[in-house]
Structure 1
């Protein structure tokens, strides 16, 4: 659905995007993670032909971009940064104008499609209000409605929950999952780890313009082969299991062994009070921080070698 090869964007001496190879497959909910300023929005704009790449290749839906933009973009829904609207017009009229301006929109079904997407994003009751009366979160929902007008095969979203309250975030998450279940591939650019962890199936991590990680979320957060023991007596765990104790953090003890039942039997049999047991899994935050840290080490090392020449 999305593929890039050695994609780069330079602004003078600044490498905003530095040789990335994206691999987004049909059916993915792909989380494109990175801190603000890491190059996410620049990448998204290049994917859609809004910014020309300095170097590299882009494919969307199996076709080269931006050369095939006229054929490809009608099949893609996009929400990039803060969507622009005519404030004095209603949400419904804004969507009608947006649909009329784009290629391939069927005029006969336009009114029904506008009504349907307003309902989808929770704006059915306020679609006739002027957009200038909308909150930031409502405007964001209206931008998402615009992205859904053509029932896209691929949905490209840049920070889609910006300005939404927790209830709104939950509703948009459910909507995106439902769209994915019915066949839409979702590419979600975000800096919110919790949002991506609850929503995405695959993840790419961008750090200072470089793609430092790309894999299945389930693989990245798979069990480590250790068991996490919760106990008020970590000293006793150490006494019973000895070298199997990997680390202690207060009342949390990480023990080598991927069978919590076996660990529990050994501890309880020796009289150690156990209040909780679970397989240890890295959080997405830990995975991302480790990848970014490794990238920083490589960049610093390269800088050091260059400075020495």
Structure 2
């Protein structure tokens, strides 16, 4: 669905995107993670033709961007850097203008499309108050409704949960799952690990303009080659597994061993009681932080 090769964007001496090879497969839910300033939004703006690359290539749906962007945009819904709109107009009026500009379809079905989009994002009961009176979360929902007017094959979202309360975040997550199940490929950026972990099938991690990790989410939780053992016979286990114990906290042992079942059979065969045994797996947070040179925007000691 989306591929880039050596994609680079410089703003004077600043390299905002540095040689990125992005691969978003059709039908996936791809989460682009990274701290503020890591290059996520710049990368998304490059993909949508809002800014031009310094070097490298972009292909979306097999077509080069920006050269054939006009062929692609009717099939793409996007929300970048917060929703745009006319503050003095209502939400439905803003969507009608957006639709009339070519975002949607025939005029005769405009009202239906707008109503459907508002319902899907949780704004079905919205009145005619001006958008300038909306909360940030409501404006975010309205921006997502605008992106859905196209019935997009590809949905590109920059921090879609920004301004939403926990219930709103959950609702948008479920909506994106539904859209994906209906055939829409989703690319979203976020700095929230939990958002990406709960929603996405694939992940890319940006750090200082570089794509430092790109993988299917499930593949990141492979066993570490160590086994967690909980046993009331910890002292005996330590003696039996001399040299293989890497950590001990009371009855909890971390054992260097590749096969939990084999280790369990060995311990039980020696008469030890095993309350719990499982392969150790790194958390998503540990995986992400391990590939980042700078994990926060903190300044100073």
TM over 0.5: yes
CA distance 1:53–1:104, change in 2 (3 Å): same
Asked whether the 8 Å contact 1:26–1:185 carries over to 2, the reply is yes
| Distance in 2 separating the partners of 1:53 and 1:263 | 53
Residue in structure 2 matched with residue 307 of structure 1 by the alignment: none
- Bigger proportion of residues as helix: 1
CA distance 1:104–1:175, change in 2 (3 Å): closer
Residue in structure 1 matched with residue 194 of structure 2 by the alignment: 194
> Deviations 1:9-58 (Å, cap 9, x if unpaired)?
11111111111110111011111111110000000000000011111111
Asked whether the 8 Å contact 2:60–2:72 carries over to 1, the reply is yes
Matches within 5 A, 1:153-192: 153-192=153-192
| Distance in 1 separating the partners of 2:93 and 2:245 | 64
| Distance in 2 separating the partners of 1:271 and 1:168 | 52
Aligned alpha-carbon RMSD (Å): 2.2
> Deviations 1:69-127 (Å, cap 9, x if unpaired)?
11101100101111122222211111111111125632121111110011101110125
1:207 aligns with 2:207: yes
| Distance in 2 separating the partners of 1:251 and 1:184 | 48
Residue in structure 2 matched with residue 94 of structure 1 by the alignment: 94
Structure 2: tracts of 5 or more residues without a match: 296-301
| Distance in 2 separating the partners of 1:125 and 1:33 | 33
Structure 1: tracts of 5 or more residues without a match: 297-309
Residue in structure 1 matched with residue 298 of structure 2 by the alignment: none
1:243 aligns with 2:249: no
Residue in structure 2 matched with residue 50 of structure 1 by the alignment: 50
Number of matched pairs: 295
CA distance 1:106–1:261, change in 2 (3 Å): same
| Distance in 2 separating the partners of 1:264 and 1:190 | 40
Q: CA deviation at 1:266?
A: 4.8
Q: CA deviation at 1:288?
A: 1.2
CA distance 1:136–1:104, change in 2 (3 Å): closer
Q: CA deviation at 1:263?
A: 4.1
Q: CA deviation at 1:160?
A: 0.4
| Distance in 1 separating the partners of 2:53 and 2:97 | 30
Larger mean CA deviation between 269-278 and 62-71 belongs to: 269-278
What secondary structure does 1:280 align onto?
strand
Matches within 5 A, 1:8-87: 8-87=8-87
| Distance in 1 separating the partners of 2:225 and 2:60 | 39
Q: CA deviation at 1:279?
A: 2.6
* TM-score when normalising by structure 1: 0.88
Q: CA deviation at 1:289?
A: 1.2
What secondary structure does 1:78 align onto?
strand
CA distance 1:125–1:258, change in 2 (3 Å): farther
What secondary structure does 1:37 align onto?
coil
| Distance in 1 separating the partners of 2:73 and 2:249 | 51
CA distance 1:251–1:117, change in 2 (3 Å): farther
| Distance in 1 separating the partners of 2:135 and 2:157 | 19
| Distance in 2 separating the partners of 1:83 and 1:103 | 15
Residue in structure 2 matched with residue 303 of structure 1 by the alignment: none
Asked whether the 8 Å contact 2:103–2:149 carries over to 1, the reply is no
